[in-house]
Structure 1
Amino acid sequence: MFILFLLLQLFPLASETLLPGRPECSLAAHSYRTNIQPGDLVIGAFLQLSEIFVTHKFSFSAKPTKVLCTLVTFRYYRHYLAFLFAVEEINRSSQILPNITLGYQIHDSCGAEPKALSGALDLMSGMKHKIPNFSCWRNNKMVGVLGDLATSTTFIMAQFLGIFRYPQISYGATDPIFNDRTQFPSFYRTIPDEEAEVDGIVQILKHFGWKWVGLIVSDDATGFRAWERLTYALASYNGCIAFSSVLKYNFHINSDHENNIFQEIEKTTANVIVLLVTIKYTYSLAHLFSMYKMPQKLWIASSFFPNVMAYRHEELETALNGSLSLIVQEGEIPTFEQFFYRFSPKANDELTRDTWEKLFNCFFSDSNSNLRYILGDTYKTCTGNETLNAADVSVYGNQNYRVTYRVYTAVYALARALHNLYSAQPLANHWDKLESLKNKVKPWQIPQSLCNEPCAPGSRKSKREGELSCCYDCIKCVDGEMSNITDAPGCSKCPEDRKSNLQRTDCIPKTITYISYMDSMGFGLTTITLILFFAVYAVFTIFLKYWHTPIVRANNQHLSCLILISLMLCSLCTLLFIGRPTQICCLLRQITFGIVFTISVSSVLAKTLTVIIAFNATKPGSKLKKYVGTQLAIILVIVCCLAEMGISVGWVASYPPYVEADMISEKDIIILQCNEGSVAFFFCIIGYIGTLALLSFIAAFLAKDFPDRFNEAKNITFSMLGFCSVWGAFVPAYLSTKGSRMVAVEIFAILSSSAGLLGCIFLPKCFIIFLRPEMNTKKLLS
């Protein structure tokens, strides 16, 4: 309503206009290129057939100068012919508006808002002085308006025409504001709005993973809306705008502005640049690409792009080769090409006459062109019989009918609406004539357009301080973490039983390890165990063979055999420590080791005490005679073993050992081992055996000075000294090691202490048996 109020203030009152004489204030008349054809029903059409040549800013303090336009541009001239063709086709048809002739009044809007508004007033009033809502047309029914191509001119017409509910169909305006039915109740269009185009471009960028893009927009509301929508959409998938430039409209050269845009394009690291400009700015864009040698980039444009390519220039075509563009689906216009090439100018068709003079470099004899008078007699006269063949129009671009088809469709939409009003029949579907869009794009190498290369799987993004979120460094995941996607925001920690592979792209199972019979350590320990076992067994066999010899019978031969048997069992019990741990092995190995070693050490203690008692029993009046013999020794061994068994039962009952997977000691390895359940009970057994060994050492040390026939005490002293040294060193070594090395340390302690007992106590006897048989006599021992 504000527009209407403003117009009423500017225009003279209708009553004053009808009076003779010139009104004090009137709207300045604009000159148009027009084509008027009367009819029963008249369609007004505003088609942009030329471009603004000179524009001035409105100061609102002085009268604006007139808008100057270029000659009719051929790529727009096809829209004009499509309009004429559609009207003629409908007038010939018996299916649409039979017995009704459509007329038209066509204006060249020139893409200028003043001409668009002035022309809309002319359509409604029909006279030189414009009177809103008052028509001076005779027998002329204006039923609707078609136009315009540019959003700016369409908008100003829609505001005015919507007041009087005149239907308006645009074939090029993409502004989403036209979707507002309250503000534009009678506005329609045959093109999607610009939001759909921006969303389409975003889908392309997202599909190819282009997150670092440049942006050039037109210096109008459409450009800034597109900039906001694209920026927001890019941020939704972590994309960024590398640079953004505003393309200003100027038909003439503005070298500073163009150079600034070129500098932005040249220095950017983005390989993809989006062009979102309206059709009004196509010349400015074409001029920019024609004047500068653009770097190799991939350009993505909205549906205005074919209009840019219509400007034939080598630099332009080279720079834009391989670009992507959204296009509005074109449809078939049957027999339009025949109409196009046989068309010739009519006397009242100044639009075609201007085009003819431009195409054929001639002038009509009645032409008012200033250039005709300048050239004088040197000009060529247009006959009107010239024809549009392919050679004449090829320089103006390819014959695509996308925009042309939208004009054709708009005329038919208005005609079918009128037909339905007259016949009250359902609206026919004209779109069934469209063909499916065929994809003819050949395979090509998809370029990358990112601020930096994407972070490969196995790494994570690390934001650079002070830069956009699209610019980041790639940090490789640390050991134990992984990422299996590109541009991962962070690395995921692997579960405890898994480790990251070398590429840090997956978590793989950790290697399970234990002391196996097959690995070098396990094989070596097993070999030593078997050697020791057979060595003890050999000594045991020797003792059995020489059972009745003095050297074997001396110092209680039964205890000697018991010690040898326990040493064989000690060596074999180490095999429980080798191999894959099981629950039974974990329960048996420490208990077996403790009991067998207790038997061995307690037997040595009993042997030493037997020697001491036997020596002291020979003294007169000694009461120890009743303790001489094997009975005391056997009781002592049994009591010591029962105490050890009591400790073991308490251990198993309260804190039984169990199988444990150690994932901490070795970073990339799972060590299967036996957890002792209670370290206190384990060292209690070690301490108990150590106590027995210490007592044996003390007893043997006291008996070392007995006569030579009882010199076994010296051997026991050295064996217990070695035994205590081994197990004394075992404790700190065991506590300072982890994993499989703990088991190896214990096996080594068992084998070395067993070998010490064997070597110190029994090998000297074997030496006498085989190498000093003369010493193995009763005479020498008595």
Structure 2
Amino acid sequence: MSQVYIFSNTITFEKHPSQERSDDQMMMTQTYQHILALAFAVKEINKKTQILPNVTLGFHIYNSQFGEIWTYLASMELLSRQGRFIPNYSCDTENTLVAVIGGPNSNVCLHMATILCMYKMPQLIYGSAPQMNDKTQAVFFHQMFPNGTHHFMGILQLLLHFKWTWIGVLSQNEKNTEKFIEKILPVFSERGICFEFIQRFPKLTFIGDIERTVKEGFETFSIIMESTTNIVVVHGEIQDIHFLRMIPVAAEFEDIPMQTKAKVWVMTAQMEFTSFHFQRSWSMEILHGALSFTIHSKEVLGFQRFLQMRSPNSEKDDGFIEDFWKEAFNCSFRKSGIEERDGKICTGEEKLETLLASVFEMSMTGHSYSIYNAVHAVAHALHNMQSFQFKQRTLADREIQTFLNPQPQQLHHFLRSVSFNNSAGEKVSFNQNGEIIAGFDIINWIVFPNQSFQRVKVGKMDVVGLPENVFTIQEDAIIWPRRFNQILPHSLCNDNCQPGYRRVKKEGEPFCCFDCRPCPEGTISNQKNVGDCFQCPEDQYPKHTKDVCVPKKISFLSYEEPLGISLAVFALFFSFITTLVFGIFIKHQDTPIVKANNQNLTYTLLVSLLLSFLCTLLFIGRPEKVTCQLQQPAFGIIFSMAVSCVLAKTTIVVLAFMATKPGSSMRKWVGKRLALVIVISCSFIQVTICIVWLAIAPPFPDFDMQSVTEELVLECNEGSTIMFYCVLGYMGFLATVSFTVAFLARKLPDSFNEAKFITFSMLVFCSVWLSFVPTYLSTKGKYMVAVEIFSILSSSAGLLGCIFSPKCFIILLRPDLNKRGQLIRNIK
């Protein structure tokens, strides 16, 4: 164990090393409990008759003083005869060495193993386990410290639980920490943890290095205190906590206000509270609210009573108690040649329970609990080995003697397989790697105004429990540093990106540092700190805040909305007008103007226009299978018939005037049969196109999920866009031919010549449908249907108005012009 920290002068070899070497010692009173835990465990075992009957356990304690030299020396003395330092020579029969318990830091264990592993000596490590270079050495190690991977995963779970992704790391300056830096911290990064800084404890080995160490310390202090993170993970050893206590002193020297710079320290389980004598009056406020992992422990029955009974007056065989007593109670014993410390004399009647926890703790610490279990593990292993030997051999003096001098290598198997319950009711056993099967407690440090402290258990890391119970934390029980006013500290490189935004990495910064940009149009993010926004399902659309998807409304041109009602009213109105015109023509069917230019064509055209107006009603209302299959074909066939009638009328007018010329051969073409052929043939082509369309890819009801952001448009899918444009194209072809013929015949001298009016009507018709195509393609949703309805109504109304309004004017208002004589006079 280590109770004294030694600082040595640097040896320059200018003089004999014995003259140059001057060691300064500083005692850590807190580690005295480790000695008492060992003594208590041995005393408890020797009193029990169930374990090792007729065998008495003893112990030797060597102070490694946190140094390599003293550790090597102690290891060599273990292999020597007691009282005489002769390495590799021991002839004691009663004081048989069977195991070594080492700690509390990894360096002591590592240097101890260099000597003891050659002799296959069982070694039980109660501090942090060293990183072994030689795998064969690990065979002789039995770690009272649980598996380190569980330890670091517990710290990671703690950081992730509180969403602390922006942290600092303070690590010891030892080779043994390379595993933590090179292997553990990358795992933290993979889980989203970033590091603002990774600093090392300044290490002081020689007194001459004080100036350099102080300089390094101040640089480290400045980096820590000026950092923006609120969380610092401290990976250290038992003696390193005194470094944290120096931070307020350095902060005061550098004029850094601690109240605004306080951090939450997350400490590893290797660390315990230790301090030097000169730090007794220092503030401990920096530890208030810290969180630390400790080896799981329970209070051992009788241990506190054992501590209360300790006294220099009664424990004459305790070689450590007087030095501890003087340091703890700040007094001195009356001895010649030794000055009294501040005039205070140690009576030996002082009580340990009166000491502040910062000087000595009465409750068993994690390291002491490990030592206590280590002693019991050795005792149970020896007991099991004894029982095994008695079963295998007949009891005789030779066998007894053999057990009384057991070889160290004989104990390994029994240590690995040992399993027992200690007096605290905890099961103690090792895994196949020689690591104790145990978990960790999460401790919250609470500092009181009198500079004492209390460690409160607020969680645990149970490696043998159910997966859902491996990590537990009582968030409400945690006391945070006063700076945070009992509000959970946050530690992020920058604020969270709220839903509706995405993270964009900052160039040259750690991946935890990012800018928040709004999601692109049409995408959302419904969680914080997402890297990419995503599209909503097709039947939903992003809310304007871009943080949630809203179901789209089903939309179609309905009779219940103003636009649908207006179009339906116009369709019915024009249908009524067409019917009225048709009635007028029926009533005046014997008049010249009605009979002129093929009376049947006129009636057919009026019926076609009536059907054109009425077919628009198929486009209004919820699209169904039947209505979808009727819409476009009905519109195409009816309009083709109407335009065919117009073309036939125009053609007959042209042929009629050409036939009036003497000797013209056109007379045989003038007649009703020609008009009938033109109408039927032109309409038949459109009918054929529509039949093919319905046969190969008929229109059907469909949802358009893309055109309108907030609506699910229920529409009639054309089925085949090519066939749809074929229908329109053919209709446009007929209209173009009709317009051309009418334009050529517009100046023929005839009172009842329709060519001029047909020219205007076809000009209107072509203008409407030429503007329809770009308008239709640029419109979305139900308004595409409205555009098509409007085009049908306006083009039909253009034909009706331009062709029939002049005739109705004459029939109703100028009947004097509706006479055969007037017609003959105008022709002449």
Confirm or deny a common fold (TM above 0.5): yes
Query: Does the CA-based 8 Å contact 1:286-1:308 persist in structure 2?
Result: no
Q: Judge which range, 115-124 or 659-668, deviates more.
A: 659-668
> Does residue 1:388 correspond to 2:351, yes or no?
yes
Distance 1:628 1:163 in 2: 128
Cross-structure match for 1:229: 183
Cross-structure match for 1:277: 236
Q: Please, which of 258, 282, 301 is the counterpart of residue 217 of structure 2?
A: 258
Q: How does 1:206-605 map to 2 (within 5 A)?
A: 206-250=160-204, 254-292=213-251, 294=258, 295-308=261-274, 316-345=283-312, 346-366=315-335, 370-372=338-340, 379-384=343-348, 386-394=349-357, 396-402=359-365, 403-424=367-388, 427=418, 429-431=420-422, 433-434=424-425, 439=458, 441-443=474-476, 445-492=487-534, 499-505=541-547, 513-548=555-590, 552-553=594-595, 556-581=598-623, 584-605=626-647
Greater length-normalized contact order (CA 8 Å, ≥ 6 residues apart): 2
Distance 1:356 1:432 in 2: 29
CA drift of 1:535 comes to 1.0
Query: Does the CA-based 8 Å contact 2:241-2:272 persist in structure 1?
Result: no
Query: Does the CA-based 8 Å contact 2:765-2:799 persist in structure 1?
Result: no
CA drift of 1:80 comes to 1.8
User: Relative to 1, partners in 2 of residues 1:301 and 1:721: Cα closer, same or farther, differing over 3 Å?
Assistant: same
Cross-structure match for 2:752: 712
User: Relative to 1, partners in 2 of residues 1:320 and 1:648: Cα closer, same or farther, differing over 3 Å?
Assistant: same
Query: Does the CA-based 8 Å contact 2:106-2:129 persist in structure 1?
Result: yes
Query: Does the CA-based 8 Å contact 2:593-2:752 persist in structure 1?
Result: no
Cross-structure match for 2:465: none
User: Relative to 1, partners in 2 of residues 1:197 and 1:634: Cα closer, same or farther, differing over 3 Å?
Assistant: closer
CA RMSD between the two structures: 3.9
Q: Secondary structure at 1:244's aligned position in 2?
A: strand
Q: Secondary structure at 2:520's aligned position in 1?
A: coil
CA drift of 1:533 comes to 0.8
> Does residue 1:197 correspond to 2:177, yes or no?
no
CA drift of 1:206 comes to 3.2
CA drift of 1:406 comes to 1.8
Question: How many positions carry a matched residue from both structures?
Answer: 721
Distance 1:651 1:187 in 2: 86
Distance 1:349 1:627 in 2: 141
Cross-structure match for 1:7: none
CA deviation vs aligned residue, 1:455-487 (integer Å, no higher than 9, x gap)? 444444333323333333333331234445544
Distance 2:371 2:80 in 1: 25
Greater gyration radius: 1
CA drift of 1:241 comes to 1.9
Distance 1:558 1:304 in 2: 109
Query: Does the CA-based 8 Å contact 2:644-2:679 persist in structure 1?
Result: yes
Q: Secondary structure at 1:141's aligned position in 2?
A: coil
Q: Secondary structure at 2:98's aligned position in 1?
A: strand
User: Relative to 1, partners in 2 of residues 1:645 and 1:229: Cα closer, same or farther, differing over 3 Å?
Assistant: closer
Query: Does the CA-based 8 Å contact 1:459-1:477 persist in structure 2?
Result: yes
Cross-structure match for 2:722: 677
CA drift of 1:613 comes to 7.2
Unaligned runs of 5+ in 2: 252-256, 391-413, 427-438, 442-456, 460-473, 479-486
Q: Judge which range, 604-613 or 162-171, deviates more.
A: 604-613
Q: Judge which range, 96-105 or 420-429, deviates more.
A: 420-429
Distance 1:510 1:476 in 2: 22
Cross-structure match for 2:798: 756
Distance 2:118 2:686 in 1: 110
Query: Does the CA-based 8 Å contact 1:719-1:756 persist in structure 2?
Result: no
User: Relative to 1, partners in 2 of residues 1:523 and 1:127: Cα closer, same or farther, differing over 3 Å?
Assistant: same
User: Relative to 1, partners in 2 of residues 1:240 and 1:57: Cα closer, same or farther, differing over 3 Å?
Assistant: farther
Distance 1:330 1:123 in 2: 30
**Amino acid paired to 1:406:** S
Query: Does the CA-based 8 Å contact 2:239-2:272 persist in structure 1?
Result: no
Distance 2:24 2:382 in 1: 34
CA drift of 1:276 comes to 0.6
Cross-structure match for 2:8: 55
Distance 2:668 2:662 in 1: 13
Q: Secondary structure at 2:284's aligned position in 1?
A: helix
Query: Does the CA-based 8 Å contact 2:107-2:130 persist in structure 1?
Result: no
Cross-structure match for 1:32: none
Distance 2:669 2:60 in 1: 143
Q: Secondary structure at 2:99's aligned position in 1?
A: strand
Q: Secondary structure at 1:461's aligned position in 2?
A: strand
User: Relative to 1, partners in 2 of residues 1:170 and 1:539: Cα closer, same or farther, differing over 3 Å?
Assistant: same
CA deviation vs aligned residue, 1:20-56 (integer Å, no higher than 9, x gap)? xxxxxxxxxxxxxxxxxxxxxxxxxxx322222x223
Distance 1:347 1:315 in 2: 33
CA drift of 1:622 comes to 8.7
User: Relative to 1, partners in 2 of residues 1:288 and 1:224: Cα closer, same or farther, differing over 3 Å?
Assistant: farther
Distance 2:282 2:761 in 1: 96
Query: Does the CA-based 8 Å contact 1:210-1:450 persist in structure 2?
Result: yes
Q: Secondary structure at 1:142's aligned position in 2?
A: coil
Cross-structure match for 1:165: 120
CA drift of 1:204 comes to 1.9
CA deviation vs aligned residue, 1:275-315 (integer Å, no higher than 9, x gap)? 11111323233223454254122211112444158998797
Distance 1:622 1:261 in 2: 116
Cross-structure match for 2:46: 91
Query: Does the CA-based 8 Å contact 2:245-2:286 persist in structure 1?
Result: no
Distance 2:553 2:22 in 1: 83
CA drift of 1:534 comes to 1.0
Q: TM-score, normalised by structure 1?
A: 0.80
Q: Please, which of 134, 139, 143 is the counterpart of residue 89 of structure 2?
A: 134
User: Relative to 1, partners in 2 of residues 1:206 and 1:643: Cα closer, same or farther, differing over 3 Å?
Assistant: closer
CA deviation vs aligned residue, 1:412-450 (integer Å, no higher than 9, x gap)? 222222333333398550347346966474526443323
CA drift of 1:569 comes to 0.8
Distance 2:183 2:816 in 1: 112
